[in-house]
Structures are given as structure tokens and as C-alpha cells.
């Protein structure tokens, strides 16, 4: 069983299906071992984009129109696990999932939208902190105001993180 | 990645639903249960032998839709999250939290929260007051029994207010629309 398969376990589904709000579901998923394992695997490089695509494709095979999608909880877990990690693929994943407005997926699109919002907020904050560490001190005190007003956004826009957040 | 699900899926269906004060309540009717949900619901019934099934597994509504939409639709919240929406409904429908010395009565609501976060997990309705403990033996005082729909794809069950399906102990509060 891979780390992704664990997101599709009955144990996780049993806990999560009995949670009525997406806010609470996110808080619970953030602490689940299955979700933390996926996050670690992605950070270490042992989990890649192709694995996630294959996983989603496998889940989709169990889709039945008009019935609750059995992979809904697994997609919630995946969205929570990956949301705060950098990369265009994760942004696309959350964006696409968040715009899947079908009754068969009642929770995962909502969780994806909330995680996308959290991701944008986190990455913007990360960029601001990085800029502060790298910013040169102004050489001419008289031009300090000009430097602080114009340099900050330019440097920020060169960052991949900031581009995603904007 | 999700094109197939979007193409094959059923568009969301909402109904007109508002609080007493006229604020819109976003909602979407829930799909029918899948085989996994049916199996998990049956497992929960086996794991909680004191639960009494009132209605077999069905779609249509969730816990919030059960108490605030008369089983017509599911209330999942909007993109701002549903915890805030629940607070809005409680406020605009005139609910107040019961004080420690007040006894819940039939028709009051129970809300379960994630411990330490005060985020709502589930809402159910007090069905009756019994003198039965968790183990089924006579209780010293009156115990509220709750009518719950634990998931949008489970059935409805009657249960002791502390007999819950999670592996952690939630925070619990009772709410009423009584003066």
C-alpha cells in the first residue's frame, strides 16, 4: 500500500464522513498520519506529480453518477497534504478540484477552495519574510523612502512563490 | 485531471433557503449513498449497538440539512467555510447556548466541536430525555438522546449524546430557541 492509498482507507473515511463542516474536516485531516505521510513523501521527492495523477485516475474509476464519490475523502486529504507546498502542479490541482461543482463530490471541492485560499496567504507571507532577509540597506539615506516604496514589490515578483500567490 | 468527473457528474441543485432574518443559506442536495458509505454506516451500527436506527442510509441532506432545512437539502456552507455559516444560522434563528444549570429538552439542538478549536463538527436534535446511561443501565439523572444524521450518505440514528462515532471526545454544547 502506498502513502496515497492510505488516504483512501476505510479508517480515514469513517472518521471524516461523520464531520459535517469543511473547517473541522481540515483541522482533523491536518493531524492525521495518512496526510502527514503524503506531505513528507512529496517533500522528499518519493511522491511525484505522475503518482498523484495516477491516483486520481484510479479513484475516478469508481465514480458512479448520482452516488457519493467514494474517493471524496481521499481528495480532501490530498488537498490538505499538498496545499502549503510550492509548485505549479499543486496550484493547478487545487484549482481544478475546487471548480468541480458536482453533487457526487460534496466536500473535496470546498476543501480545495479553502486550502487554495490558505496557500495564497501562506505563500505571500513567506515571500515577504524572504525579501526582508535579502534586502540591501539603502546607501543614501535621502533615497531611503524611494527604495522602500519601489524595490519591495519588484524583488517580490521575481519569486515563484509570489507569482503563485498573485 | 478532473475533466472526467466534471463531465460525468451531476450539477449541484440548490433550493431557496433562508434564516428567520432573511439571510440566504447556501445549500446543495446530497447524492445517494455509495457502497462504501453503506458499508461504513452498517459498521457503525455494529460498533455502536445502543444506536437505534430510525431511517436507513440515504442521500439528500446532511446533519445541518436535517435540523435547519427539514431534510430537504444539505448545508455545506460556501467558500468562506461552514463554521461561520452555522454561527449565522444560530444567531439569526434566535438560538442561545444552554447554561450549565439548564436541562436540554426535546427539540433543542446539540452541537459537537473539535476539542480545543471550537469548530463545529456535527449538529443533531434532542429527541427525548431518558434515564439510560451509555452502558444501558439506569442513569442517575435525565440523559438527552439525540436524533442524528452523521453524514450526508448515512441514515438517521437515535443515540446517547456521548455515544459518538469519532475516536476522540468532542466538546459538546446544547442550544435552544426557547426564551
What confidence tens digit (pLDDT) does each residue in B117-140 have?
Answer: 889 999 999 999 988 777 777 777
B88 vs B93: CA distance, rounded Å: 8
pLDDT tens sequence across B30-44? 999 999 999 999 999
Q: Is A65 on the interface with B (CB under 8 A)?
A: yes
pLDDT at A132: 53
Q: What is the pLDDT of residue A10?
A: 95
Give the best residue of B1, B65, B87, B157 to mutate against chain A (max A CB count within 10 A).
B1
In this predicted structure, which of A58-62, A75-79, B100-104 has the lowest mean pLDDT? B100-104
**B26 close contact with A: CB closer than 8 A:** no
Hey, which residues 160-179 in chain B have their CB within 8 Å of chain A?
Answer: 164-167
Mean pLDDT value across chain A:
84
Q: Which residue has the cell 505571500?
A: A124
Single pTM value for the model: 0.86
Rounded distance between C-alpha atoms, residue B133 and residue A86, angstroms:
51
Q: B164-174: per-residue pLDDT in tens?
A: 999 899 999 99
Q: What is the value of ipTM here, to two decimals?
A: 0.93
Q: Mind listing the pLDDT tens digit for each residue in A72-109?
A: 999 999 999 999 999 999 999 999 999 999 999 999 99
Strands B96-97 and B109-114, sheet pairing: unpaired
Distance from CA of B95 to the nearest CA of A (A): 19
Quick one: cell of B123?
Answer: 449538529
Mutation target vs B (from A18, A55, A64; most B CBs, 10 A cutoff): A18
* Tens-place pLDDT, residues B51-87: 999 999 999 999 999 999 999 999 997 666 788 899 9
Q: Is A118 in a helix, a strand, or coil?
A: helix
Amino acid at each position: 500500500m502506498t502513502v496515497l492509498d492510505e488516504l483512501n482507507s476505510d479508517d480515514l473515511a469513517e472518521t471524516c464522513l461523520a464531520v459535517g463542516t469543511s473547517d473541522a474536516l481540515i483541522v482533523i485531516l491536518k493531524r492525521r498520519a495518512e496526510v502527514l505521510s503524503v506531505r513528507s513523501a512529496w517533500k522528499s521527492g518519493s511522491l511525484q506529480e505522475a503518482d498523484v495523477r495516477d491516483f486520481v485516475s484510479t479513484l475516478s474509476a469508481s465514480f458512479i453518477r448520482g452516488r457519493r464519490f467514494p474517493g471524496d475523502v481521499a481528495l480532501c486529504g490530498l488537498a490538505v497534504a499538498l496545499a502549503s507546498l510550492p509548485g505549479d502542479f499543486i496550484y493547478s490541482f487545487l484549482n481544478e478540484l475546487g471548480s468541480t461543482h458536482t453533487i457526487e463530490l460534496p466536500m473535496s471541492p470546498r476543501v480545495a477552495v479553502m486550502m487554495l485560499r490558505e496557500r495564497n496567504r501562506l505563500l505571500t507571507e513567506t515571500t515577504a519574510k524572504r525579501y526582508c532577509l535579502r534586502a540591501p540597506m539603502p546607501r543614501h539615506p535621502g533615497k531611503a523612502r524611494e527604495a522602500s516604496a519601489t524595490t519591495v514589490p519588484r524583488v517580490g515578483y521575481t519569486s515563484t512563490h509570489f507569482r503563485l500567490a498573485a | 485531471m478532473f475533466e472526467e468527473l466534471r463531465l460525468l457528474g451531476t450539477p449541484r441543485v440548490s433550493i431557496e433557503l433562508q434564516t428567520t432574518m432573511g439571510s440566504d443559506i447556501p445549500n446543495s442536495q446530497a447524492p445517494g449513498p455509495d457502497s462504501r458509505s453503506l458499508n461504513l454506516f452498517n459498521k457503525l451500527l455494529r460498533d455502536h449497538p445502543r444506536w437505534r436506527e430510525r431511517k436507513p442510509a440515504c442521500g439528500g441532506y446532511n446533519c445541518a440539512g436535517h435540523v435547519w432545512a427539514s431534510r430537504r437539502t444539505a448545508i455545506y456552507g460556501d467558500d468562506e467555510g461552514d463554521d461561520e455559516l452555522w454561527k449565522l444560522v444560530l444567531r439569526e434563528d434566535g438560538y442561545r447556548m444552554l447554561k450549565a444549570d439548564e436541562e436540554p429538552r426535546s427539540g433543542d439542538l446539540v452541537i459537537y466541536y473539535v476539542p480545543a478549536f471550537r469548530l463545529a463538527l456535527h449538529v443533531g436534535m434532542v429527541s427525548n430525555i431518558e434515564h439510560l446511561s451509555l452502558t444501558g443501565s439506569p442513569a442517575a439523572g435525565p440523559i438527552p438522546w439525540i436524533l442524528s444524521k452523521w453524514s450526508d450518505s448515512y441514515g438517521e440514528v437515535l443515540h446517547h449524546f456521548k455515544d459518538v462515532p469519532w475516536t476522540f471526545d468532542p466538546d459538546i454544547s446544547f442550544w435552544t430557541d426557547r426564551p
